[in-house]
Amino acid sequence: MTGLRPDLWAIGHSTNESAAVIQQDGMILADSPDSPSLFALWDWLTAWENAGRPAPESYIPTLVPAGDDQGPAGWNLRLSH
């Protein structure tokens, strides 16, 4: 999740080399038309559509450690339904 402006938030996918977000107004932004993050975002949106567009509050959030000895440490947010 990122704040693009004080009044505009977006959720999305990013890697060290790509990024894509969907803004709260529905606009999708990506670093390129063939962005791996854009394809990941499309996969997420398709799964959400196929699940019947469940409400955000129906998901269970879990933080999962990210990174390894080769890269930066951090956290990934995983949602289950």
Q: Among all chains, which residue has been given the structure tokens 């975002």?
A: 41
Averaged pLDDT for residues 29-37: 95
Task: Give the whole-number percent of the chain exceeding pLDDT 70.
Answer: 91
- Per-residue pLDDT for 20 more than 80? yes
DSSP codes joined into one string, 15-78? -SS-EEEEETTS-EEESSTT-HHHHHHHHHHHHHHHTT---GGGSEEEEEEE--TTS--EEEEE
pLDDT tier at 69 (50, 70, 90 boundaries)?
Answer: low
- 27 vs 77, more confident: 27
Distance CA 66, CA 64 (A): 6
What is this structure's pTM? 0.72
- Where do the domains of the chain lie? 10-80
What pairs with residue 30 in β-bridges? Answer: 20
